[in-house]
Structure 1
Amino acid sequence: MSQISRGLENVFIKTTSLTYIDGENGILRYGGYDIEDLVEHTSFEEVVHLMLYGDLPTKLQLQRLKSALDEAYEVPQQVIDMIYSLPRDSDAVGMMETAFSALSSIYGMPWNKATNRDNAVKLVARASTVVANVLRAKEGKKPAIPEPSESFAKSFLKASFSRTPTEEEVKAMDAALILYADHEVPASTTAALVTSSTLSDIYSCVVAALAALKGPLHGGAAEEAFKQFVEIGEPDMTESWFKRKIIEGKSRLMGFGHRVYKTYDPRAKIFKKYAKVISERNSDARKYFEIAQKLEELGVETFGAKHIYPNTDFYSGVVFYALGFPVYMFTSLFALSRTLGWTAHVIEYVEDQHRLIRPRALYVGPLKRDVVPIELRG
């Protein structure tokens, strides 16, 4: 049994130049750049260039990338029809899986070093169209395709809600896209890598990643964390809820703890800042932010000594809710951003380190047995 690593904890399956994590000191970097600096000084489009092409873009390179994104928002009508053909109460990530399976049938192609990154850029743009229309279909609204604008975040928000977002909203959405863009090789990225190792197409890799992200222990954590705030209801009820549910009921405090971080998740600090700003104009969101703050204090006081702190999902739901997204869309918003990380990792793996991923299982069943004829088995 000593040969087995449950959950593949601390097992390295690839090398990467994409994302660096120091879990002890709460450091996250994309391509060598601190996440705090990227959120503060760059845009999601610049991070797309960084992750796919290796560095932050020049003005000309950024212009070309934005043009490529703008030209790829359109998706075949069959894909839109497929999204709208599903029941409105369908799971949002499941609807994304369906759409990306269709996109795989249409755009799936063999890996090619000359076109892999360009295909990934198009995939990210099409993902925004898929997610916006998953929301619109579930809300009973007509389809809408993102239109070119000053930023990817603005185009996505406008397509989602059929209104022009404020500068604060655009910046908050842009920050969320950057913060969720990648995090090395969690379950969804590993699923994408396993799929890429068979040389399946890049859209199929995203389908595999979405299937893993759909689970409540991965992408669904933001929804579960936010549901706690809703259940608490009012800030002055936080302490009694915490005592009843977490201390006495031994329930898990959602949005707390991380497999890698043994300190405060650096993304959570940034999400908290944006949650505070973006919730000022939304009374319900402000209430949930205040509940989250109080719950954080209680959680850190109780679990901090065990190195359990808020993770990225603790405050992100407040940001998404303040932007106008229903809770059922939180995981899909995570997925929209993470399409960048998934595609960057599978490209890196296929081009530089490719080997079919084929692990083993340690057999612990009976030793050799003889087959007894069925009439003699009693």
Structure 2
Amino acid sequence: MAKVTGLEGVVAAETDIGLVDGERGHLIYRGYWAKDVAVHFSFEEAAHLLWYGELPDEGELFRLKERLQAYRELPASLPPLLDAMPKSLPTMSVLQAAVASLTEPDGTPAAWPPAPSQAERLTALLPAIIAYRYRRSKGLDPVQPHPELDHAANYLYMLTGTIPEPAHAKALTAYLILGMEHGMNASTFSARVTSSTQSDMYAAVSAAIGTMKGPLHGGAPSEVIAMLEDIGTVERAEGWLRAVLEQGGRLMGFGHRIYKTKDPRAEALRTVTEKLTGDTDSFKLALHVEQTAIRLLEEYKPGRRLYTNVEFFAAAIMSAIQLPAELFTPTFTAARTVGWTAHVLEQAGVNRIFRPQSVYTGPMPTLGD
């Protein structure tokens, strides 16, 4: 049996939800370019597309928004649980425990098969849980959800207590949409494996969160922000980047395990960031660093095809909306919940338990006479 570590190149499932083509730089959500969905549609429309297979009409969108708004209210069991967790516990661990503790709204235990209503509820609850925990950790009172704000705007409102600028809500919406789905990544695989055992939706998403919090998966743009801040000016960019490459270092925000050409998510976020930041010095710096780094990477690492990834322009957006660095990965998690739950629903429709093989490399017992 040929050894394939990490299941590299192994097809684990068929899916109608999304396509990631790293060679061509394609990311598709159910027949739509993800970058177009991010620029032209709302969070709620994109979520409906992934859950139900099509963009909603006006009535479907109105009803979905109503349901998501109703699901934002934390169940009575959650605030005491969140308050009881140690302040030192990372937000991702808090999220994992909170989701695992959920029952159905009527208090009954969740059961298999999963339901679309559970997907909607989890997607609405995750930002509310993050905001509650963040504000309590800072000694601030929680902010109740705003009944007139859409998903992304309400998240920022619950974090700050202030209605966000429309441009900031639009930028965060694009980031959340582009974070919803990305093929059979590690956390999505975790969700599908858990669901394949006929465990419930909340357990599957809790497992996915546990996978996402690993630093090799749930990466955040904080290191890109630190790099741009350290470079500081356009004039310093080339010398700074060359120094890193001369020492064999890595340029943060460049290269991706899957994409061998431009990351389509980065292209969409660049478009949104241009509208958000206009002609500011910070965006000029980001664009100059991008162009210079790509040129130098081809010089120092020819043929590697290292381009800007989604984290680079996510850094620009996170800086613009002033999202605290500690919330980068939790916010990514809130976005990916849509994709996880879509995959859990799909898995239930064609379910067969995952049971891959392993290659034994240990000693064999000594054979008797």
What is the TM-score with the length of structure 1 in the denominator?
Answer: 0.88
Q: 1:359 aligns to what SS in structure 2?
A: coil
SS in 1 for 2:288: helix
Q: Which amino acid is 2:81 matched to? A: M
Q: How many residues align?
A: 362
Deviation at 1:94, TM superposition (A): 2.0
Find 1:364's aligned residue among 336, 361, 364.
361
Name the CA distance, whole Å, in 2 between partners of 1:107 and 1:159.
Answer: 28
Corresponding letter in the other structure for 1:301: R
Distance 2:170 2:54 in 1: 22
Once the two structures are superposed, residues 237-291 of structure 1 have per-residue CA deviations (whole angstroms, 9 ceiling, x without a partner) of 332332222x12212222222222110001101112223333459x8xx53x444
Aligned mates of 1:107, 1:168 — CA distance in 2: 41
Q: In the TM superposition, what is the alpha-carbon distance from 1:78 to its structure 2 partner?
A: 3.2
2:5: which partner in 1?
6
2:297 matched to 1:303? yes
Match of 2:122 in 1: 123
Contact 2:44/2:65, CA 8 A, preserved across alignment: yes
- Give 5+ residue unaligned stretches, structure 1: 372-378
Deviation at 1:336, TM superposition (A): 0.6
Cα–Cα, structure 1 residues 107 and 336, in superposed 2: closer, same or farther, change >3 Å?
A: farther
Contact 1:104-1:204 within 8 A present in 2 as well: no
**Partner of 2:65 in structure 1?**
66
Partner of 1:276: 274
1:32 and 2:26 matched:
no
The letter of the residue matching 1:182 is E
* Cα distance, 1:129–1:267 mapped onto 2, change above 3 Å: same
The alpha-carbon distance between structure 1 residues 78 and 369, as it changes in their structure 2 partners (threshold 3 A), is same
Distance 2:89 2:338 in 1: 25
Tell me, yes or no, if the aligned pair for 1:73 and 1:126 is still in contact at 8 Å.
Answer: yes
**1:72–1:126 Cα contact (<8 Å) kept:** yes
**What amino acid sits opposite 1:252 in the alignment?**
R
The CA deviation at 1:172 is 0.9
Equivalent position of 2:142 in the other structure: 143
SS in 1 for 2:250: coil
Q: Secondary structure at the match of 1:120?
A: helix
Secondary structure in 1 aligned to 2:19?
Answer: strand
Matched residues in 2 for 1:68 and 1:201: separation?
Answer: 21
Which range is displaced more, 137-146 or 22-31?
137-146
Q: Which amino acid aligns with 1:25?
A: R
Of residues 24-33 and 103-112 in structure 1, the stretch that sits farther from structure 2 once superposed is 103-112
Alpha-carbon distance in 2 for matches of 1:134, 1:235: 38
The verdict on how the C-alpha distance between 1:267 and 1:124 changes in structure 2, with shifts beyond 3 A counting, is: same
Query: In 2, distance between residues paired with 1:201 and 1:155?
Result: 28
1:83–1:261 Cα change, 3 Å:
same
Contact 1:265-1:311 within 8 A present in 2 as well: yes
Distance 1:107 1:328 in 2: 33
- For 1:331 and 1:59, the matched residues in 2 are separated by 32
Q: Provide closer, same or farther for how the CA distance between residues 309 and 12 of structure 1 changes in structure 2, counting only shifts above 3 A.
A: same
State the alpha-carbon separation in 2 of the partners of residues 150 and 144 from structure 1: 13
Aligned runs of 1:154-233 on 2, under 5 Å? 154-233=153-232
Q: 1:228 to 1:84 in 2, by over 3 A?
A: farther
Amino acid aligned to 1:133: Y
Partner SS state of residue 27, structure 2:
strand
Q: Distance in 1 between matches of 2:215 and 2:288?
A: 24
1:153 is displaced (CA, Å) by 1.4
Encode CA deviations 1:80-125: one digit per residue, 9 max, x unaligned. Answer: 2333334445322222112212225967511246xx1111111111
* Residue identity in the other structure for 1:259: R
* 1:297-324 deviation per Cα after TM superposition (whole angstroms, max 9, x unaligned): 2331133431221111111022022112
Task: Give, in whole Å, the separation in 2 of the partners of 1:79 and 1:53.
Answer: 29
Three-state SS of the structure 2 residue aligned to 1:83 is: helix
Alignment partners' CA distance in 1, 2:139 and 2:221: 24
What is the DSSP-based 3-state SS (H/G/I as helix, E as strand, rest coil) of the residue aligned with 2:102?
A: helix
Aligned to 2:287: 293
Q: Please give the per-residue CA displacement for 1:13-60, whole angstroms capped at 9, x wherever unaligned.
A: 111111022222212111101123212321110111111111111111
Normalising to structure 2: TM-score of the pair? 0.91
Residue 295 of structure 2 aligns to which amino acid in structure 1? E
- The percent identity for this pair of structures is 35
Q: Note closer, same or farther for the CA distance 1:82–1:295 as it changes in structure 2 (3 Å cut).
A: farther
CA RMSD of aligned residues (A): 2.3
Which residue does 1:16 correspond to in 2?
15
Q: Which structure carries more relative contact order (alpha carbon 8 Å, separation 6+)?
A: 2
Mapped to 1, the partners of 2:219 and 2:80 lie a distance apart of 26
Kept after mapping to 2: 8 A contact 1:83/1:137 = no
SS at match of 1:306: coil
Distance verdict in 2 for CA 1:130–1:257, change over 3 Å: same
Q: What is the distance in 2 between the residues matched to 1:248 and 1:132?
A: 42
1:181 Cα shift? Answer: 0.8
